[in-house]
Amino acid sequence: MSGRVLNIAWKDMLHLWHNRTLLILVIFGAACELLLVGWATGAEIDDLKTVVIDHDQTAISQGLIDALGAASALTLNEDAVSDLTKHNTRDAALDDTFTGGNFIFNPDNVLVVEIPAGFGAQLTAGEQPQVTLTLNGANSVGSTTARRAAEEVLYTYGAVVLTQNMMEHMGQTPPSADQIVASLESNHPDVVVRYNEELDRAAYTTPSEAAFVLYIIAIMVAAFMLAREREYGTFEQLLVMPQRPIEIIIGKAIPALLVGYANFILVLVEMNVVFDIPVRGSLLLLLVLAIGYLFVELGRGFMVAMIARTQNQALLIVMLMAFVDITFAGYAVPVESMPQVMQALSNLFPIRHWMIILRGILQKDIGLDVLWPQLVWLAALGLIINGITLWFFRRSLAEQK
């Protein structure tokens, strides 16, 4: 048995070797993509364009503008208001019919802060003036960051003005704004970030990419290798030879496994060297589990090939599957933030469990004592998926058209 399995594996390796362009693409394409993703998302989020509409025009409102400008995440778009005024008969700053909506449609602007008339007076009187923040939700990460920064400034600034005002009222010499800010900050809670201490975006996205790479490459190679035999009619040749269906499947799995695995190791090295994201847990455990995970996904790759009749069909089906998989893997949006039904559903996707395992070992240094449920899930899914695939395979052999 093993001989014939290796014969098929060797033949498919020859195929890859003859198609050198594809081979290079398959092996290094993913590594290049990882670089792109890492660099593109690695940059810290700052320079968020902020427009301030100051309907108040007092020293106190000007102080708030200065404070906003000093926040590291925000960059004031100072010309926006005067530009708008130029094209209008009314003064955008003074006329309170001008609101955030007049600026936020511009995709450059992430945040508009609208300071109401009477802001300074209300604040000194101890009342609570309403500052309106308009956020550009289309840029969700940017606007979340901008909102947090703006709220912090507003809170601090309000506290400073109030404190100074109060002490003056009581006839005492108020401390400087810096002093008040310093004492406010000393009251902030201690925030301890674990696992990704710098809250580096690349440290979040590149493991996702690594998990994804292993999956997509393996599934593609597996699906293509089998779909090609069907498309070219060489499948008949395989059938008149003395292999059994299981031998054909395993033989075809080996090259896909090797290519997927080579990719994974390349990506792990790249993450360590380029992005400084080392494997904190057991490398051995990670590498062993990766093989297991590959077997699960290869089953799906072959299933695709049994449904598709040509390589093009296989490609389209893999793409479609990948979109769903990416969603449930928590690649873009964390699964924890999905509705309960979706969260439950996500368990049926092997990549979801693989993502947890990969992150767990890579970043949290946790082992099987914690990750065993994922392992059980993967094993169960693997059995079901590969069982169905084998059944499919046998049936289509019997029902050859």
**Binding interface with other proteins (CB under 8 A):** 3-4, 7-8, 10-11, 14-15, 18-19, 232-234, 236-237, 239-244, 397-401
Q: How far is the CB of 10 from other proteins (least distance, A)?
A: 7
Q: How far is the CB of 283 from other proteins (least distance, A)?
A: 36
CB nearer other proteins, residue 241 or residue 265: 241
Give the 3-state secondary structure of residue 52: strand
Q: Which 8-state DSSP code applies to residue 336?
A: G
Q: Give Cβ neighbours of residue 232 (< 8 Å, ≥ 6 apart).
A: none
CB nearer other proteins, residue 240 or residue 332: 240
| Residue 339 CB-density burial (10 A; 0-12 exposed, 13-18 middle, 19+ buried) | exposed
CB nearer other proteins, residue 171 or residue 233: 233
Which tokens hold the place of 91? 């003064």
Q: How far is the CB of 310 from other proteins (least distance, A)?
A: 14
Which tokens hold the place of 214? 């292993």
Q: How far is the CB of 311 from other proteins (least distance, A)?
A: 12
CB nearer other proteins, residue 232 or residue 372: 232
DSSP state letters, 111-136: EEEEEPTTHHHHHHTT-----EEEE-
Adjacency order of strands within the sheet including 132-135: 74-76, 48-54, 109-115, 132-135
Q: How far is the CB of 259 from other proteins (least distance, A)?
A: 16
CB nearer other proteins, residue 13 or residue 162: 13
Whether the CB-CB separation of 206 and 275 falls below 8 Å is answered with yes
d(CA 261, CA 73): 40
CB nearer other proteins, residue 148 or residue 395: 395
Whether the CB-CB separation of 352 and 329 falls below 8 Å is answered with yes
Q: Which 8-state DSSP code applies to residue 360?
A: I
